[in-house]
Amino acid sequence: MTETSTGDAGQTYQGEASPEKLVEIARYFLFIGIVGFGGPLVHIAMMEDDLVGEDGKGWTDDSIFMEGLAICNMLPGPASTQLGIFMGWIYAGKLGALVAGVFFMLPTFVIVVFFSWLYFAYQELPAVEAMFYGINPVVIGLIVGAAWSMAQSALAEGRTHAEFAVGTETWSIDYLLVGLLAAAVVVTAVLGSNPVLQFVLAGLVAVAIYRSSWVRENARRVTLWSVGIAILGALFVLRDRLLDLLGPAVRRTIEASPAWGLLLALWSNPWVQLFAFMVYTGSFIYGGGLVLIPFIELYVVREFGWVTGREFVDGIAIGQLSPGPVVMTTAFVGYKLMLDVSGGLLWVGVLGAFVATVGAFGPSFAFIMGFFPYFARVRENDIVQTALTGVNAAVVGAILGATVTLAIESFVDLFTVLLAIVTVGLFVRGVHAAYLIVGGGAVGTAWYFLVI
């Protein structure tokens, strides 16, 4: 058994490393990283069966495993990957966490990089173009299907204002959460607003409505926090206008300072841009890997222009064909960016994929190894739980809003629209995403060459 202590969340969970433990961790997570097709639920079930209690390897007991799972579901980032890092951490300390995370992600990284090479090397071929003609709308359908399931859970977290059946499923919805979800769809699709700001505002609205008595009792503290958050948000949104309002002389003084020059020099480096953006993304993709979509669509596609909307959808398809988390699509983005920067050098593209992966998954390691006891305490806070209720609804809305923009490029005719609709129906009925992607590629290729 692991040398972790049980009890309250402030106690130590971290185990002690040994060469035997590290080898055991590496072998197990390499195995699960290769065979773990089916998504996070499959990964979590495998870890529970294989590692917990006397029936498994005995790395921990049921109570600690369930607490770790609950906290990983609360944290930003891919829950199953973070749970793997957590299991390595409680069994063999920080080295165990690093080994678990690296070997868990290694097979998916190799698969995504390999398919990225194939894609960018041969994407101009008619056969490849025809295949992705069918795959693109399938990916849109998969995102909508996943958002459907997420919405069913998110809208049931508040009060029950209405209840109805959709097929064999019963939906319980809260009108406030429906409003937050719809607002996030519109704001993301039309205005392209920063997803983090949307999540913060949705959390504040949920607390204000659901915990109005607590807000009144703590009016002074709430007001100070609200004003502070509002000021920071306004400064971020209006940062360019504020520099203009300062006047040409002040702006020239700021821009002439060594610190400003250093920041510009660092930001002009594509490696720094890539790593910094992926760290930012990995720190805020709350609610699962699909929350990556509004972040990438807003910045990587619209603002930075590192990939086109269609290339990004293709990258999601490549990520879905692997056994690991959708967040590994960041490797596809890093590969493409550095391939362009280097003029087509393969090894630079692979290094770009590695840098993007380290940046995107780095926060997950930090959350588990550095802040797990803190998050364990925060999870029990009623106000935090209420805020997360609003955030969950906004997360689904942001995903759908970004998908609207991506669908505009993916839907090129009526056939692609119908293919996406069929995909949604099949996916919500339990058909695996990989089968749908392969099937969509085959059907799309046939239609492309026979009809178009």
The pLDDT score that the predictor gives to residue 7 is: 43
Give the SS3 label for residue 49.
helix
Asked whether the beta carbons of 310 and 214 are under 8 A apart, the reply is no
Structure tokens at 209: 């409505």
How far is residue 330's CA from residue 308's CA, in Å, rounded to a whole number?
14
Residue 329 contacts by C-beta under 8 Å, 6 or more apart in sequence? 112, 292, 296, 312, 315, 316, 318, 319
Q: Check pLDDT > 90 for residue 191.
A: no
Q: Check pLDDT > 70 for residue 327.
A: yes
239 falls in which pLDDT band (50, 70, 90)?
A: low
| Burial class of residue 97 (count of CB atoms within 10 Å of its CB; 0-12, 13-18, 19+) | buried
Q: Check pLDDT > 50 for residue 84.
A: yes
Torsion of CA 188, 191, 197, 200, to 10 degrees: -60
Angle at which helix 195-210 crosses helix 219-237, to 10 degrees, equals 160
Asked whether the beta carbons of 77 and 90 are under 8 A apart, the reply is no
Beta strands in 121-215 (DSSP E): 162-166, 169-173
Asked whether the beta carbons of 133 and 416 are under 8 A apart, the reply is yes
Which residue type does 284 have?
A: F
Q: Check pLDDT > 60 for residue 12.
A: no
Angle at which helix 79-122 crosses helix 309-320, to 10 degrees, equals 120
For residue range 338-374, list pLDDT tens digits in order: 999 999 999 999 999 999 999 999 999 999 988 887 7
247 falls in which pLDDT band (50, 70, 90)?
A: low
How far is residue 312's CA from residue 310's CA, in Å, rounded to a whole number?
5
The pLDDT score that the predictor gives to residue 288 is: 72
- Can you name the residues that pair with 171 across neighbouring β-strands? 164
**Furthest-apart CA atoms within the chain: distance in Å:** 71
Predicted TM-score of the model (pTM): 0.85
Asked whether the beta carbons of 400 and 33 are under 8 A apart, the reply is no
Closest CA to 451 of 423, 413, 421: 413
- Can you name the residues that pair with 169 across neighbouring β-strands? 166
- Exposure string of 339-352, with b = 16+ CB inside 10 Å and e = fewer, is bbbeeeeeebbbbb
Structure tokens at 324: 């690991």
Residue with tokens 């709308």: 137
For residue range 263-290, list pLDDT tens digits in order: 766 778 899 999 999 999 999 888 777 8
Structure tokens at 308: 């086109």
Structure tokens at 223: 């007001």
Asked whether the beta carbons of 322 and 111 are under 8 A apart, the reply is yes
Per the rule left: phi > 0, alpha: psi between -120 and 50, beta: everything else, 394 is alpha
The pLDDT score that the predictor gives to residue 262 is: 67
For residue range 135-168, list pLDDT tens digits in order: 999 999 999 998 998 898 889 888 888 888 777 7
- List C-alpha distances in Å: 28 to 67, 97, 101, 106: 21, 13, 11, 12
240 falls in which pLDDT band (50, 70, 90)?
A: low
Q: How does the average pLDDT of the chain come out, rounded?
A: 86
